[in-house]
Structure 1
Amino acid sequence: MIASPPSNPPTQPNSIWDTIMRFSPAAIALSLGLAMVSSAGLTKPELPEIDPRAIALGEQAAAAGAAGDYDGAIGLYETALTVDPAYKAAFVGLADIARVQGLDGKAIRLYREALQRDPNDQAALAGEGQALAERGALERAREDLARLRLLCQADCGAADRLSMAIEDAARTPVRSAEAVTPATTVEEAQRRAEEQP
């Protein structure tokens, strides 16, 4: 009879210390990766340096808008954007004018342009939220309000004004729904046709 060679039992860790040492490099690497990814969301994005000429044009535009010269303000804001397309305050100013003129859809688009350049711009968030509330998009307006409250941790008048705008919009019917006339049924249309001489 031939003796078989002794089989080696599978190696098992001698202690808990061996197990810790085996998995610690992977655990450390994973935790460092998660820490780097999570901290990236907390940092403020680096904003580009704005051309001083665009800022000067924006200040002139704001003064013209405050005086009621909306056409002049729009021209100055557009010129400022030609000088420096990264000038987000010009988008906010144009959006504010659009809201005053009752062009909420255009205002929302312009506020979003500003928010693409700086997602933490409080004026753009507040303005977009008010325009959304005026259009009846209350859930989106509440999302902007929640984000605005996170950004301005102290006393925030913009968040208070947005909250009041949302409450007012919730009490009043949506403007687009007021323009809809109820559809008549076939029977009503036939009856009206028979009644007419």
Structure 2
Amino acid sequence: MRFTSVSVALALAAVSLSTSLHGQRPDDQIDARSLALMERAKAARAAGNLSAANDLLESSVVVDPRNRQAFILLAEVARSQELPGKSIRFYREALTIEPNDPAALAGQGQALVDKGAVSKARENLAKIKTLCGTKPCGEATLLAAAIAKGPPITATAQQSVNPPSSGTPVKN
């Protein structure tokens, strides 16, 4: 009598585990509809239609949320639109799927530099260098160049560096 409830609980656990594993696709199988939408988005982006590319990529991610490449392309479109915060968020989504993706780490690092978070970009560079090891790594080179260049100068930063003169001399 005591073993019946335990055996029933174990049987239910085994059935629910096997059912959930059976229903999932492997991570490397991205839905074909998602890939087709992503290809259409690449064409729209190449044509300069960033809005359409963004819409198609968002649809691609809805069809298959495991499409890491679609998140990376969304981030690149956001960077093209000069939206570094949005770009960082999309790169974070891609890194949630694959934390050791050098392309996503480099892209996120460049977006962080655009936003002015150079120290966090350096952390991404260190991780990329760890992932690449001794072999040459293009992502590390690109990110190191972006860090060396520094964040872009914005109009408000330009004004604070060169305040407008009022025409009246300053007395000491």
TM-score w.r.t. the length of structure 1 is 0.62
Change in 2 beyond 3 A, CA 1:47/1:146: farther
Runs of 4+ in structure 1 off by over 4 angstroms are: 179-182
User: Which of 121, 124, 132 is 1:152 aligned to?
Assistant: 132
Shift of 1:181: 5.0
Q: Secondary structure at the match of 2:51?
A: helix
Shift of 1:175: 3.8
Name the % identity: 47
Listed as ranges, the gaps of 5+ residues in structure 2 are: 1-25, 162-172
User: Which of 87, 90, 93 is 2:67 aligned to?
Assistant: 87
Q: Work out the CA distance in 2 between the residues paired with 1:181 and 1:157.
A: 36
Q: Is the 8 A contact 1:136 1:174 kept in 2?
A: no
State which drifts further: 147-156 or 84-93. 147-156
User: Which of 119, 134, 144 is 1:163 aligned to?
Assistant: 144
After the TM superposition, which residues 41-120 of structure 1 pair with which residues of structure 2 at under 5 Å, given as runs?
Answer: 47=27, 49-120=29-100
Q: Work out the CA distance in 2 between the residues paired with 1:58 and 1:173.
A: 30
Change in 2 beyond 3 A, CA 1:173/1:106: closer
Match of 1:178 in 2: 157
Shift of 1:110: 0.9
Q: Is the 8 A contact 1:135 1:175 kept in 2?
A: no
Shift of 1:127: 0.7
Q: Work out the CA distance in 1 between the residues paired with 2:39 and 2:103.
A: 16
* Amino acid paired to 2:42: A
Q: Work out the CA distance in 1 between the residues paired with 2:78 and 2:112.
A: 13
Measured on the aligned residues, the alpha-carbon RMSD in Å equals 2.4
Q: Work out the CA distance in 2 between the residues paired with 1:176 and 1:138.
A: 19
Shift of 1:61: 1.2
* Amino acid paired to 2:57: Y
Q: Secondary structure at the match of 1:73?
A: helix
Listed as ranges, the gaps of 5+ residues in structure 1 are: 1-45, 183-197
Shift of 1:150: 2.1
Q: Work out the CA distance in 2 between the residues paired with 1:145 and 1:66.
A: 28
Alpha-carbon displacement from aligned partner over 1:131-157 (angstroms, at most 9, x marks no partner):
111111111001111111222342221
Q: Work out the CA distance in 1 between the residues paired with 2:160 and 2:148.
A: 26
